[in-house]
Structure 1
Amino acid sequence: MGRLIQTLQPEGLGVSMRLENAPRLAEALQAAMPGWPLDRWPASAAPYRALAAWWEEGCYYQAVPAREGPRRLPGIATATCSLIADLIPEALKALPSMTGLHCAAVEVQGRLVLFPATHRAGKSLLSAAFAAAGYRVFADDVLMLTADGQGMALGLAPRLRLPLPPSLPSGLARFIVDHDDVSDRRYHYLALDDGRLAGHGVTRPIGAIVMLDRLPGTPAASLTRLSPGDGLLRLLGQSLAGEEHDPSRLLERLLPMMHNLPCGLLRYDDPMAAVERVVAGLDEAPVAAPHPQPAPAPRGSQSPAESPDTAWRRLPFSAEYALGEECFLVDVGGGVHRLSAVAGGIWRLLGIEPLTSAEVAALLAERFPDVERSRLGRDVASLFEDLAVAGLVAPADP
């Protein structure tokens, strides 16, 4: 019996997918990538290196570089997912001017609402709910960020983990069943038309960032406003740019779109109620939220910061950026640090001359007369300790 070899070439990539004796997998890939054009090449004429997968004895397998044996993929949706996941790094290589963001994204009123990744928070299920409500999905897992700060779709269908939650609203459950495209026991790809799924290369400006907190049993969806700094930190943490990306350059790219960008925390259980809350929340006036205090740094038996008479000086750093009242620092090692409005003010004072915690506490006492001096002293000492641990300050020379 002869071998059936098919080669699929995703548009814009320097890698193809070579499938052996797997015609159903070729159909599944085209169904799961409806917005990403795939060319077919004869096996002998394929011009690019290939990701190889095949069907053998009732199971799919995929060759993995630097791995002794192939990856076993028991279902067709699982095999589809594995191959698509290996295409994402190739897309990042092919689009060096862009940044990959690990997030879901949907279009609302001509702008994108981004849902940065949180483990098992329901990004894909929420994307399905937006699609069921008539909105267009740009991503359920990876969105490309262009050099001018717009989000670009890859054209991949949302992929849901199975089994679906038993508490799923009946209308959404029917929508998912009626839009079954490729599925097995682990995954279910949604079949969406052009009105509900953006095609490869379609771009829209970013309109809001919403962090997800899915809590089973939550009686009603709520949307709490956060500062733009919360959204910036989450996007920095979900960047897929790779090990060689420069945090300073990434901050420069993200900062222009973060100014005045609504950010929120969505607590929900019912995905359809969450859709309604997000859409309604985009029209509401922003409400300032307090900046959460960082956890205290580990302390030894004695620290220079505990002495109110120790003068502190700034150490060399790579970059400093302002976002609203907050400040973001990039240290010489590439780490990113977020300072509140007060901490940023202290940082700027240290740029003028070294100061002791007692001197800083005295200045703060004039600004906050209702706060106990002892508390101000402790807070300033804790800040200096945290900055010292981060390698941003050190005791000044005597």
Structure 2
Amino acid sequence: MTCRDVFFAGVPGAVRLHDCGGLLSALDEFFRLWPHAPRPEGLPSIPGFPGTFPPALHGAAPLLEIAPQGRGYRLRSPWLPAPRHEPSGACLLCSLAIELVAACCHACPRLISLHAAAVRLHGRTLLFCGDNRAGKSTLVARLMADTARGLGDDMLALHQGRIFSFGVAPRLRLPLPPSPALEHLMRDRPGIRDRHYGYLAASPDSLAPWGERNRPDAVILLERTPGSPAILLPAPAATGMDSVLSRFLIPDGGAPEVLRLGTQLLDALPCRILRYEDLDEAATLLERQARLLPPAASLPGDFSPATVPPGCHGQPASPPSGGTGDSRTLWRQRPGLSCRQAGQSIFLTDSRGNSIFRLDGTGAVVWQLLSEPLSRDEALSLLAETFPDVPQARIRHELGQLFQALFEARLIEKATKSP
């Protein structure tokens, strides 16, 4: 068996390829803008965090391993519960890029991963957030077909108040949506592909390399809506907060810092909803409006997490045993939680700092009441007076669900009345 180690900038360990000589040229081309070499010496480090590579890294056990498996490949990573099988080279390189980003963020606590996309357009940096299939990748590629510079597609990070790029080109679902400009770009700069996805070739004239940082100027929430003309709308505060916070991959214990970071982003930057169906129409609108967006407020010099302990992506805390008891039991907010209000919604972290929760409407009202010891019976009495037209049986049922959810999320604790 022949082995080949490849080291990547910012990653504290080797990618070891077992009998994968035929993959090397595709890997080199795919990661053209992410510095890599057979040895770690001389590779750039993350700004402000020079100690990425530990001593005697060369020759140590690999961080990631790739080997042939059937007609595809097997990828082993410390962030995967089991080795992952990838049916094609394109799938393998996509998964490898994701694991390399995770390794970078694990090694550098000041680098926090963000499942979003971004472009530099007419001197403005636009951060795109949206659900799967909202069109982040295709919109970035479509804007790159004109004058925009791609900063990242799905895999970004925030570092010291700036968007940190990894140099990975957009991955586009096939077949492409109707767009002559996008089709021309794919023909002109084809990258690796399979039956389901195709990559653009990594080109330095239209794509930011690994380590480039750009201060964001606006947040754009993508909503692909059938039949809708392309339109930019102001985003309600809670909508913007919910969309942005859900894009972060939270490190262990890092939820309070992520909540602070999301709050500062949305306090400083204009946030708009881009509702659209036609890709070219959306690109034209952004080309026209980018210069007209209000200027971003001054951001702190460093609002990225500074004290988040390194770790894998956080998971919600295990719920405590038991329940919320009878309706006369007194409860209160668990102390020490991070809490932010956006519009009429409240966002708060769990007691272990691994998850962020959103409370709306009645939930937000009850949470504020829980600043003092409160029972479900007392909450029922207060809400029944506020909403006399709602049957008390319904209020009682919903309060039972709310208190149980708050208890399981470790957001409340038993209390006693002050004398």
1:321 equivalent to 2:344? Answer no
Match of 2:170 in 1: 158
Q: Structure 1 stretch 333-342 or stretch 376-385: which is displaced more?
A: 376-385
* Cα drift, residue 135 of structure 1: 0.8
Gaps of 5+ in 1: 287-302, 365-371
- Give the one of 256, 260, 272 matched to 1:248: 256
1:104 equivalent to 2:111? Answer no
Counterpart secondary structure, 1:119: coil
Distance across 1 between alignment mates of 2:249 and 2:220:
19
Match of 2:108 in 1: 95
Letter in 1 for 2:147: G
Counterpart secondary structure, 1:144: strand
Say if 2:19 and 2:67, in contact at 8 Å, map to a contact too.
yes
Question: What are the residue-to-residue correspondences of 1:15-34 with 2, within 5 Å?
Answer: 15-34=13-32
Match of 2:217 in 1: 207
Distance across 2 between alignment mates of 1:174 and 1:205:
30
TM-aligned CA distance change 1:316 to 1:273, over 3 Å: same
Distance across 1 between alignment mates of 2:336 and 2:394:
26
Say if 1:255 and 1:323, in contact at 8 Å, map to a contact too.
no
TM-aligned CA distance change 1:136 to 1:382, over 3 Å: farther
Question: What are the residue-to-residue correspondences of 1:331-350 with 2, within 5 Å?
Answer: 331-332=350-351, 334=353, 335-339=355-359, 347-348=367-368, 350=370
- Give the one of 48, 52, 62 matched to 2:65: 52
TM-aligned CA distance change 1:48 to 1:159, over 3 Å: farther
Q: Paired residues, what number?
A: 360
* Cα drift, residue 190 of structure 1: 0.7
* Cα drift, residue 394 of structure 1: 8.4
1:37 equivalent to 2:35? Answer yes
Letter in 2 for 1:12: G
TM-score where L is the length of structure 1: 0.74
Match of 2:183 in 1: 173
Distance across 1 between alignment mates of 2:281 and 2:357:
35
Distance across 1 between alignment mates of 2:121 and 2:332:
44
* Cα drift, residue 140 of structure 1: 0.7
Distance across 1 between alignment mates of 2:394 and 2:69:
64
Match of 2:95 in 1: 82
TM-aligned CA distance change 1:68 to 1:132, over 3 Å: closer
* Cα drift, residue 246 of structure 1: 2.7
Match of 1:266 in 2: 274
Distance across 1 between alignment mates of 2:171 and 2:22:
18
Q: Structure 1 stretch 374-383 or stretch 313-322: which is displaced more?
A: 374-383
Q: Structure 1 stretch 111-120 or stretch 178-187: which is displaced more?
A: 111-120
Counterpart secondary structure, 2:99: helix
Report % sequence identity: 26
Question: What are the residue-to-residue correspondences of 1:96-135 with 2, within 5 Å?
Answer: 96-135=109-148
Q: Which has the larger radius of gyration?
A: 1
1:351 equivalent to 2:364? Answer no
TM-aligned CA distance change 1:339 to 1:170, over 3 Å: same
Distance across 2 between alignment mates of 1:205 and 1:69:
37
Match of 1:374 in 2: 389
Question: What are the residue-to-residue correspondences of 1:160-309 with 2, within 5 Å?
Answer: 160-161=172-173, 163-165=174-176, 167-215=177-225, 217-242=226-251, 244-281=252-289, 283=292
Match of 1:298 in 2: none
Distance across 1 between alignment mates of 2:276 and 2:402:
36
Counterpart secondary structure, 1:9: strand
Distance across 2 between alignment mates of 1:379 and 1:279:
50
TM-aligned CA distance change 1:346 to 1:219, over 3 Å: closer
TM-score where L is the length of structure 2: 0.71
Distance across 2 between alignment mates of 1:384 and 1:70:
44
Counterpart secondary structure, 1:374: coil
Say if 1:230 and 1:263, in contact at 8 Å, map to a contact too.
no
* Cα drift, residue 250 of structure 1: 1.7
Match of 1:8 in 2: 6
